[in-house]
Chains A and B, each alone.
Chain A
C-alpha cells in the first residue's frame, strides 16, 4: 500500500509545493528589499525608491557605519552583553528553581508551583510594574533595566523545565547519587543538568532571541543613549533619523546632518542588527521548532 501514490496524492503534493514556495518567497522578499536598500547609493534610493536589486550599487551606508562605529558598535556590544548575561542568568535561575520545584516531597514546593503558575493568569499590568521598578528599585537608566523586567524568567519556561526533569530523568539515578553522599547541588549540576540539555538548549535559545530583540524595556526604562542596544538605536532612528549625528562623537568627527545617507543607512543598520540571527538561525532551527511544539502541549 505505502509505495503507491495516486494521481490525487500527486495533485496535493504539487499544490503543497506551490503554496509553500509562494509563502517562502513572501517571507524572504522583505529581507531582500532591506539588504538591497542598504547597498543602494543614497541618491538612487531617494530617486527610485528601495528596490529588490540596487539600481546604483554603493557601500556608503556601511562606510558611514564604520565611521560612526563608536556609537553603533557600542550599541552592538550592549546588545551582546545583555543577551549573554541575560541568557546565562536566566538558564541558571530557571534550572535551580525548576529542580527545586520538581522535588514534590519537600514541604512547600507544591504551593510554590501553584503560585508560579498563577503569574501566567494574573498580572498587575504595565503601569504597576513600571512604578515598582522605577520607584522602589530605581532601575531607570541602569543596565539592569535591560536584563531584569519580564525577560529573565517566566512561569512557562520554569514549568516546562520542571516537567522535563520529572518525566525524563530517572529518579533512581538521583537517589543513587544521594546515597553515595552527593549533595543536592552536585546532583543538580553533575547529573540532572547534563541530562536536561535538550530542554535547556530550547529555553536558552528562546531567551537569547528575546534579549536580542527586546526594545520595550528600553522604551520604558532607558533614556540615556549610552545604554542603547541596537534595537533601541533602530527605534530611536525611527523617530529621528538625525539622532546619529546629534551625538557628541559625530560632532567631534565633523559629520553634519546633510552628510548622512539617510535612506540607505536605515536599512544598513537594520541589516547589521539582524545579521547574527540570520546566520545562526539555520543551525538552531530544529530547537525553535521543538520549542513551538512543546508550547503546543501546554499553552
Chain B
C-alpha cells in the first residue's frame, strides 16, 4: 500500500469505530426529550468527566494551541491558565445549578434564565445569542476536520468531502442517540487524543533535538523573546493575559453546552468531584505547547500557523501513525461539533420555538422538532464551512466574548436575591454591544485589556445598578410566580 492509502485506511477505521460507539451508546433507551438532552440525569463521575473532557478539548486544542505557540509564542500560556481556572469556577457554580435543575426540571441554559427571572424577552435574547455564537464554533470544528484529514491523507482527500462526511456522521449519531452518544464517542476520542498528543509533544522535540529540554534551550538561545509575553506579538502583554484569563475562566461555563453538562450529572457531588480532577487533564494540552514551540525551529516561516504541528508530524511519523493522528483529530472535531449541534437544536426547539410560536407543543413534539433542527444546523454549518472565509477565528473570539456576558445573570441569579430580570437584560445588552463593537472595530485588546473583559465589567456594573434602581415589582412578581408554580420545591 502507498503511504497515503495506509494513512487513509487507519483514519477511516478510527472514525468508523468512534461512530459505531456513538450508535450503540443509547440504543437500549427510549429517547424522550429528557433522555436525549440530559441523559436522564443519571451520568456518574466517569461519564460526566468524559462528556466534559470531550467538550473542552476541541480542534482548538489540537491545532489552535500549537498554532498559537508557533505563531505568537508565550501569550498562548493563557490557555493553560484559563482552562484550569474554568474548572475552579465550575466548582462554585455547577453543583448549585444542578440543584436548581433537579427541582425545576431544567434542561438548558435559557431554562435557567426563564425560571429565575420570568422574563420572556431576556430568555429569548439569551437563546438567540447562544445559537448565533454556536454557528462559527461548529463551523470551525468542521474546517478543522477538513485540514486534518487533507494533511493526514497527503492531500488525497480534499477538505470539502472530509467536512461533508464528518458532518453527516455527527448529525446521524446525535439524531439517533443524543447526549449519551456524545459521551461515549468521547471515550474513543480522548484515548486516541492522549496517544497522539504524547507522540507529537514528545516525539517532535525528541527526533529533532534529542529531548524537550534541549529543544527549549535551543529556542531560548535563538528566539528568547518568543518565550515570554508578549512573544511574537506587540500588544498581548501582562494586562491582556490577566483580563483574557479572567474572561475565559469565568465565561467558559456560560457556553450553553457546558452549562448543560450540569444537568446530566447524577448528583451535585458528581460535579464537584469532576471539578477537582478535571484540571489534571489540562496536562495533555501542555504537550501541544511543546510541539508548537518545537515547530518554530523545525518548520519556520509557515504562513498558516495552524498547520505547523501537522506538517512537523508528517516529517517524522510513519504513514499509519499519521492515520492515527488524523483519526484522533477528526474525532476531536466531531465530538464537540455534535454536542454543539445538539444543544443549539434543543435551544431552538424548546426555548425559542415553543414559547414564542407553538405554546401547545408537547415534550415529544419538541424532541421531534429538535431532531429536525439537528439536520438543518448540520447542513448550515457545513455550507458555511465549505464557503467560509478566513475570518472564522475572529468570529469565534467574538462569540466567546459575547457568550461570557451571561456570567452576571447566572452568578448573581444564583447568589444575590435582589438582582432583577430587567437589570440582567440591560446589563447583558450593554456588555454584548460593548464587546462586539470593540472587536468589530479591531480595538481588541483595548488599552491592553481584552475587549470581552471590558464588556463584562460594564455589564456587571450596569446589572448591579439597574437591579438596585428597579427591583421591587420584579422581585414581588418573581417570588409570587415562584410560590405559585412550584409549591413543593422548597
Binding between chains A and B: no
